[in-house]
Structure 1
Amino acid sequence: MPVDPQVQQLLDLRATLPPLHTLTVAEAREQFAARDFPGLRIPKVACVVNRDMQGPAGSLGLRIYTPPGHGSSPRGPFPLMVFFHGSGFVVCSLDTHDGMCRNLCAGAGCVVVSVDYRLAPEAKFPAATDDCLAATRWAVANAAALGADPGRVVIAGDSAGGNLAAVTALRIRDEGGPKLLGQLLVYPVTDHYDPGTPSMMENAEGYGLTRDGMIWFWDHYLAARWDAAHPYASPLRAPDLSGLPPAFVVTAEYDPLRDEGEAYAQRLQEAGVPTVLTRWDGMNHGFFFAPGIVDKAGAAIDEACAWVRSVCA
């Protein structure tokens, strides 16, 4: 189907911005931080608290969202979601994904712990995944103090954050860690851009995220080219995906990452992992940012939240 008209309006508004791959890292971060989406659906949550934990390389920032009803609802303690924001491993922050986390918190009825992991190029692979693993373990160990249930834990992320969620699930399986009930992977990065996929070429430009942008991100993230083959960088290349928690994988029709996300879902299914794959036609990479503006974005977040509630029931 053609690009959704509501998505096209957003693309048109941003058409005059310089391409990501032509910017410095500082300029790219400023561009993403300045994004504004008037009319967003921002649901109420009970409270939002910033705090720090001791990470692998020093202080690691967290933002903790508590759903409505905390302290009085008989449903508490709440399930726990550890969330890793997208960024291409280079840009974005707790602030850029605040609205997304509020929608996940209220919609899924979870305590959400959003992780301010180290970004590249200042901290290259595997720094981000080390932080995300440590934060997941911290969140589970401190679940009771957060009003959450350490026995009902899911991890989640969008784009590069989806990569980090998938990798965190792999590392917990391989290295030991808390039991996970699920992994929510929203248009995840699962493989290096080389050799690439048909969707990487079909959607190379014109839909927000570009192939050149992905090359820019990967080149900043990896310290060495051969790191691209490591399953903790490219989880699609992991030789064995068995024994992982159930997955919900979201892809978008007009996304360079569509095919690698769907290939990962297929491999999970083949490995015996209960996996739901949902492709949103007419959508582009990043559409989860736009509930309240793009109708399908709100519907997609609602569907993802319903899955989280089901695995945590």
Structure 2
Amino acid sequence: MPLDQQIEALLEQLGAMESVDYREVTPEGLRQMMKTLAAADGPPEAVASVEEARADGPAGPIPLRVYRPAGADPGGGPDENAGASQLPILVWYHGGGWVIGDLETADTTCRKLANRAGALVVSVDYRVAPEHPAPAPLEDSWAALRWVATAGATLGGDPTRLAVGGDSAGGNLSALLAVRARDNGGPTLRYQLLVYPATDLTMSQPSHVDNGEGYLLTNQATSWFLGHYLGPDDDPKNPSLSPHFTDDLSGVADAFIITAEFDPLRDEGEAYAARLRDSGVAVDLNRYDGMVHGFFQMGGVTPVADAAVSEAASHLRAALS
């Protein structure tokens, strides 16, 4: 299928991002670009409430943002009866190559997912590289998940109906957390929602050749992100960095994986889906033809993005019901 026309028009407008010299660009400069690109998701949806919280982390408090879906009690806490009134919980990890992105860039996505899945969404502002390289983002993500599993009821959530999810680097962290939760005997996860996840940091899948230039996320950009995230002694085949290389994936949470046709990360997401299936994990996979990396947050550009969010929310709602 050809590149979606509306996405193609956006890429032409964002031509400056394609011409970035990654030998010169700074993390702060790219963080500002990310905030500009976040506007492509359109206006934020109204939700019942948005609250700030903090989880105890390995290097101090981790900022969280908690979204209650429209129509839910905006009070934020459990009612006297708890139980049925408690909302399922999605812990969301933003994308951005473990270097850029934050609570603000994930805001519109989290609002949509909360409303359409009927879930409490907890967005995690984990530490990022180069100030905090691997394993800091994963350790913060793990600490936040454990905190939500313990304190979720005080937020009005049901920790027995718990899922993780994220896009790109956030999908990587979510996949790693699903493995760690299994290996540590909890928290028990019902589901993992992986949106064009980075599962193989070797950059060796064929789609890095097919889609490595001209489709927003370039191979040069990916190398730049990995150069900040990984230390000189880090092996990209280490399963604590690349979930694709985990020996045994049996027993991890069921998954829904979204990939994009013109994404360098397409093949690693689809290969991970195959590995999960081979391990006996129930997986749904949808490749969105004509789309590029990042399209999930382009609701203001193409209706396909909005449809993808709705599909993800539908899978999540079913898994957490």
Both structures adopt the same fold (TM-score exceeding 0.5): yes
Q: 1:79 aligned to 50, 71, 88, which one?
A: 88
What is aligned with 2:53?
51
Q: 1:285–1:158: structure 2 CA closer, same or farther, 3 Å change rule?
A: same
1:228 correspondence with 2:236: yes
Alignment map for 1:43-192 (pairs within 5 Å): 43-71=45-73, 76-192=85-201
**1:172 maps to amino acid:** A
Q: CA deviation at 1:37?
A: 2.9
Using the alignment, how far apart are the partners of 1:257 and 1:12 within structure 2?
21
Q: CA deviation at 1:254?
A: 0.3
**1:65 maps to amino acid:** Y
CA contact (8 A) 1:70 1:147 kept: no
Q: CA deviation at 1:202?
A: 0.6
**1:30 maps to amino acid:** Q
Q: CA deviation at 1:38?
A: 5.8
Using the alignment, how far apart are the partners of 1:296 and 1:75 within structure 2?
33
Partner-residue secondary structure (3-state), 1:54: strand
What is aligned with 1:202?
210
Q: Which runs of 5+ in 2 are unaligned?
A: none
CA contact (8 A) 1:162 1:184 kept: yes
What is aligned with 1:19?
20
Q: 1:290 aligned to 281, 289, 298, which one?
A: 298
Q: 2:252 aligned to 244, 247, 253, which one?
A: 244
Q: Which runs of 5+ in 1 are unaligned?
A: none
| Cα distance per residue 1:235-272 (max 9 Å; x no partner) | 00111111101000000000000000000000000000
Partner-residue secondary structure (3-state), 1:189: coil
Using the alignment, how far apart are the partners of 1:90 and 1:8 within structure 2?
26
Using the alignment, how far apart are the partners of 2:67 and 2:54 within structure 1?
14
Q: 2:42 aligned to 31, 40, 53, which one?
A: 40
| Cα distance per residue 1:169-218 (max 9 Å; x no partner) | 11111123211100000000001134x11100110111000111111111
Q: How well do the aligned residues superpose, as a CA RMSD in angstroms?
A: 1.7
CA contact (8 A) 2:94 2:106 kept: yes
Using the alignment, how far apart are the partners of 1:43 and 1:118 within structure 2?
27
**2:259 maps to amino acid:** T
Alignment map for 1:205-220 (pairs within 5 Å): 205-220=213-228
Identity %: 45
Partner-residue secondary structure (3-state), 2:37: coil
Which stretch shifts more, 302-311 or 41-50? 41-50
Which stretch shifts more, 280-289 or 9-18? 9-18
Equivalenced residues, count: 312
| Cα distance per residue 1:11-69 (max 9 Å; x no partner) | 11101234262411121112212335367153221011122222111121101111122
Using the alignment, how far apart are the partners of 2:101 and 2:3 within structure 1?
25
Using the alignment, how far apart are the partners of 1:36 and 1:256 within structure 2?
20
Normalising by structure 2, we get a TM-score of: 0.93
CA contact (8 A) 1:190 1:260 kept: yes
CA contact (8 A) 1:156 1:165 kept: yes
Using the alignment, how far apart are the partners of 1:208 and 1:284 within structure 2?
7
Using the alignment, how far apart are the partners of 2:301 and 2:86 within structure 1?
32
Q: CA deviation at 1:75?
A: 5.8
